[in-house]
Amino acid sequence: MESISQLFKALGDQNRLRVVAALMEYDELCACQLTELLQITAATASRHMGVLVACGLVRSRKESRWVYYRLTQESRPLLEMLDWLSRQLANDATVKQDRIKLAAITSCDKNELCKKYTC
């Protein structure tokens, strides 16, 4: 019960929903890319990612200074939830806009991007 409500709470925030939607379309995204997508500070993005990691939806790996996040996709219930979410958000206006932004964000060279986008 507690883990279920935590999962719902995690997804009850629109910025976090946008993150999950983005990670459903990209294998992996860097913290700076997500920060840029959401147009919030790195500190806030980091906290949101902490919530998603804590509820099991997302996991991270570090590569030198860069932290990459991806969906865990390791449990059947979470996969089913993501499938449901994918269908509900397929034609969502915000997600559509994010797709365009993400195409631009991910087409930048990583060093250039992180230099440009951090704080």
Partner DNA sequence: TGCATAGTTAGCCAATTAGCTAACTATATA
Partner DNA sequence: TATATAGTTAGCTAATTGGCTAACTATGCA
CA–CA separation, 60 and 42 (whole Å): 15
DSSP string, 11-62: HTSHHHHHHHHHHHHSS-EEHHHHHHHHTS-HHHHHHHHHHHHHTTSEEEEE
**3-22 positions binding a copy of itself, by CB under 8 A:** 4-6, 8-9, 11-14, 17-18
Specify the amino acid at residue 111: N
Which of 25, 26, 66, 72 forms a contact with DNA (CB under 7 A)?
Answer: 66
Question: Which stretches of the chain bind a copy of itself, using CB under 8 A?
Answer: 1-2, 4-6, 8-9, 11-14, 17-18, 77, 80-81, 84-85, 87-89, 92-95
Q: Return residues touching DNA (CB under 7 A).
A: 9, 12-13, 15-16, 30-32, 35, 40-51, 60, 62, 64-67, 111, 114-115, 118
